[in-house]
Amino acid sequence: MKTFISLVISCTFVTSSIAQNGQDGNYNYVDLCSVNGDKWSLEPSKEFPGEYIFSYTNSIHKCSQTYGGRGLVASDGFRVILYVIAGYNGTENELVYVVPEDPAYMSIPAELNLPDSSEPGIIRIIPGIS
């Protein structure tokens, strides 16, 4: 009986240690939101000089976060402010829009309503609007 109790206590300790370390036997668990969360980019257009392409992918892993204004800078220094509203209209969609810091630019479309997906939404930021 004493050996059985020692065995149960030992198994409980090992199981508890594995659970605390985020491991299950030989498997390590990864937070998919830290690895495959929402992604975005802002780059100058290769097709039209002076135009910028903003791309946003709403992760299929339901990693949505609301951003009340996050600055983004393109490789050439052009700047926009990113806004994201998670859970838009009571859904799992995200409402995404960017506001160029230069008032002579305009975003087309003005906003994206994106479901959880692996496909990016694209906003073109064009010059010539005042």
Name the 3-class secondary structure at 72. strand
Q: Which domain holds residue 36?
A: 32-127
Query: Do 19 and 44 belong to one domain?
Result: no
Total domain count for the chain?
2
Query: Do 81 and 98 belong to one domain?
Result: yes
Query: Do 41 and 22 belong to one domain?
Result: no
Q: Give per-residue pLDDT as tens, 54-85.
A: 998 887 766 777 878 889 999 999 999 999 88
Q: What predicted TM-score, i.e. pTM, was given to this entire model?
A: 0.69
- Per the DSSP assignment, residues forming a β-bridge with 1 are none
Please return the burial class of 67, using the count of CB atoms within 10 Å of its CB with bins 0-12, 13-18 and 19+: middle
pLDDT tens digits for the chain (130 residues)? Answer: 555 444 444 444 444 444 444 444 555 555 445 545 778 899 999 999 999 999 988 877 667 778 788 899 999 999 999 998 888 888 888 899 999 999 999 999 999 998 877 788 999 999 975 5
- pLDDT given at position 45: 96
CA dihedral 38, 43, 46, 49 (to 10 degrees): 140
Query: Do 69 and 15 belong to one domain?
Result: no
Query: Do 15 and 68 belong to one domain?
Result: no
Query: Do 17 and 52 belong to one domain?
Result: no
